């Protein structure tokens, strides 16, 4: 009973997700679902990414949080548009919440839509929001064992970002373990080491984003 209901909820979600993707494709927007544990640096990454893409590329952001508008406030001023979605007790964003978020945006002229999911390494992984790509963050202080412990998050990642690498020398951390665990669950996603604080690795992340847009444009022209 429980499983059937959960499955039908996910099916309904997936239909909305497909419609979200169609809307964004029609507007030429590339949507990236950003997922990680709480405090891995999703907002810090966007604080540095959005200004770096300007003025060539315009970004919009949907931010999911249980409570508060703190992340949205941190991002104000740089993105073309920011919409905060409070999920209450909800442990992830849903496609319907993203659809409502899209209603609040003027998608014209937007190149990237960043969807900052609720900080959670489990539940968001199962829920399609209509994104094109998934960026999964893992911060150094969380420990070098997290890829093996949360494979369902890392398996479908389009890119894996190892954040807060400026702390590597200060912590007992075996970076090789992370690469080894990633190679077991996901052989296609690049792993980018970065620190929005020092700027390390940001060029590689920005180049990856640009490359995804280029590929997307080629695919859309071909179809």
Q: Residue holding tokens 């300007």?
A: 54
Task: Pick the piece of the chain touching a copy of itself (CB under 8 A) from 48-56, 66-74, 108-116, 208-216.
Answer: 66-74
Nearer to a copy of itself, 67 or 187 (CB): 67
- Give the integer Cα–Cα distance in Å for 80 and 66: 23
Q: Shortest Cβ distance from residue 66 to a copy of itself (Å)?
A: 6
Q: In terms of Cα–Cα distance, which of 61, 36, 83, 31 is closest to 213?
A: 31
Regarding 10 and contact with a copy of itself (CB under 8 A), the answer is no
Q: Shortest Cβ distance from residue 152 to a copy of itself (Å)?
A: 6
Q: Which residue from 56, 77, 89, 222 is in contact with a copy of itself, where contact means CB under 8 A?
A: 89
DSSP E strand boundaries for the chain = 30-35, 59-65, 81-86, 112-116, 133-139, 159-163, 191-193
User: What 8-state DSSP symbol labels residue 37?
Assistant: S
Task: Pick the piece of the chain touching a copy of itself (CB under 8 A) from 36-44, 52-60, 95-103, 198-206.
Answer: 36-44
CB atoms under 10 Å from CB of 9, counted, come to 12
Nearer to a copy of itself, 73 or 203 (CB): 73
Regarding 38 and contact with a copy of itself (CB under 8 A), the answer is yes
Regarding 66 and contact with a copy of itself (CB under 8 A), the answer is yes
How far is CA 136 from each of CA 18, 61, 116, 177, 215, rounded to the nearest angstrom?
A: 21, 16, 10, 17, 20
Q: Which residue from 1, 56, 103, 223 is in contact with a copy of itself, where contact means CB under 8 A?
A: 1
Spatial CB neighbours of 115, under 8 Å, sequence gap ≥ 6: 31, 32, 33, 34, 61, 62, 64, 93, 98, 101, 129, 131
Nearer to a copy of itself, 110 or 135 (CB): 135
- Give the integer Cα–Cα distance in Å for 128 and 185: 19
Rule CB under 8 A: which of 108-167 touch a copy of itself? 118-123, 126, 139, 141-143, 145-146, 148-152, 164, 167
Residues binding a copy of itself: what is the number (CB under 8 A)?
36
- What DSSP string describes 74-92? HHTTTSSEEEEEE-TT-SS
Regarding 193 and contact with a copy of itself (CB under 8 A), the answer is no
Binding footprint of a copy of itself on the chain (CB under 8 A):
1-2, 5, 9, 37-39, 65-68, 70, 89-91, 118-123, 126, 139, 141-143, 145-146, 148-152, 164, 167, 170
């Amino acid at each position: 009973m429980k499983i059937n209901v959960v499955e039908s909820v996910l099916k309904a979600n997936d239909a909305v997700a497909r419609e979200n993707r169609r809307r964004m494709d029609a507007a030429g927007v590339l949507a990236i679902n950003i997922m990680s544990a709480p405090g891995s640096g999703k907002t810090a990454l966007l604080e540095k990414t959005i200004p770096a893409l300007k003025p060539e590329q315009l970004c919009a952001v949907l931010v999911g949080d249980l409570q508060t508008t703190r992340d949205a406030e941190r991002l104000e001023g740089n993105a073309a548009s920011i919409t905060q979605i409070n999920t209450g007790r909800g442990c992830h964003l849903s496609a319907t919440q993203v659809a409502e978020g899209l209603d609040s945006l003027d998608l014209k002229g937007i190149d990237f839509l960043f969807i900052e999911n609720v900080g959670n390494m489990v539940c968001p992984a199962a829920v399609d929001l209509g994104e094109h790509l998934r960026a999964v963050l893992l911060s150094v202080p969380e420990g070098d064992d997290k890829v093996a412990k949360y494979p369902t998050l890392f398996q479908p990642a389009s890119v894996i970002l190892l954040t807060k690498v400026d702390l590597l020398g200060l912590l007992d951390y075996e970076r090789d373990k992370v690469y080894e665990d990633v190679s077991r669950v996901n052989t296609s996603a690049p792993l980018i080491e970065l620190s929005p604080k020092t700027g390390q690795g940001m060029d590689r992340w920005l180049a990856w984003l640009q490359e995804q847009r280029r590929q997307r444009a080629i695919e859309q022209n071909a179809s």
